[in-house]
Copies of this chain bind each other. A is one copy, B any other.
Amino acid sequence: MDLLALETPCLILDRGKLEKNISNMHKRMKTLGVNLRPHGKTAKNIDVLKMALEDQAGGITVSTLKEAEYYFSHNIIDIVYAVGIAPVKLDRVVALIKKGARIALILDSVEQVKFVAAKGQEYDVEIPVFIELDCDGHRSGVTLDDSLLLDIGNLLHNEEGVILNGVLTHAGESYNCKSVGEIRDMAETERAMAVKCSELLRKNGLPCPIVSVGSTPTANFAEDLTGVTEVRAGVFVFNDLVMAGLGVCDESDLALSVLTSIIGHQKRKRWVITDAGWMALSRDRGTASQKVDQGAGLVCNVEGQPLNDLIVSSTNQEHGIISNRMEKDIDWDSFEIGSMVRILPNHACATGAMYDRYYITDGSTDIIDIWYRINGW
Contacts and interface: CB of A to CB of B under 8 A. Distances in A.
Interface of A: 5-10, 41, 63-64, 83-89, 92, 108-109, 111-112, 115, 134, 137-140, 172, 261-266, 269, 271, 273, 275, 278-279, 282-285, 314, 316-319, 321, 336-338, 349-350, 353-356, 375-377
Contacts of A337: 109, 111-112
Contact of A109 (B84, B140, B265): B265
Contacts of A285: 283
B319 A266 contact: no
A263 B111 contact: no
Given A139-B319, A337-B109, A7 B282 contact: no
Contacts of A355: 376
A317 B140 contact: no
A299 to B, nearest CB: 16
A63 B318 contact: yes
B8 A275 contact: no
B336 A266 contact: no
Interface on chain A toward B: helix, strand, loop, or mixed SS? loop
21 contacts: A5-B88, A7-B88, A7-B89, A63-B317, A86-B261, A86-B262, A87-B261, A108-B264, A109-B264, A112-B338, A115-B338, A139-B314, A140-B263, A140-B266, A140-B273, A172-B316, A279-B353, A283-B284, A317-B349, A353-B354, A355-B376
B263 A318 contact: no
Contacts of A377: 7-10
Residue among A138, A140, A264 with the most chain B CB within 10 A?
A264
B140 A88 contact: no
Contacts of A316: 138-139, 172
A234 to B, nearest CB: 9
A92 B7 CA distance: 10
Contact of A319 (B140, B349, B350, B354): B140
Nearest to A280: B377
Nearest to A260: B86
Nearest to A349: B317
Nearest to A234: B317
Residue among A63, A263, A271, A336 with the most chain B CB within 10 A?
A263
A322 to B, nearest CB: 11
Residue among A5, A284, A354 with the most chain B CB within 10 A?
A354
Contact of A282 (B92, B111, B283): B283
Contacts of A282: 283
B137 A338 contact: no
A9 B64 CA distance: 10
A283 B296 CA distance: 12
Contacts of A139: 266, 271, 273, 314, 316, 319, 321
A375 B190 CA distance: 39
A6 B88 contact: yes
Contact of A261 (B88, B109, B263): B88
A247 to B, nearest CB: 21
A239 to B, nearest CB: 16
A174 B241 CA distance: 31
Contacts of A283: 282-285, 350
| 10 tightest Cβ-Cβ pairs between the two chains A and B | A283-B283, A86-B261, A84-B263, A111-B337, A87-B338, A83-B318, A63-B318, A140-B264, A283-B284, A84-B264
Contacts of A375: 356
A111 B335 CA distance: 12
A261 B264 CA distance: 44
Given A376-B355, A377-B10, A275 B86 contact: yes
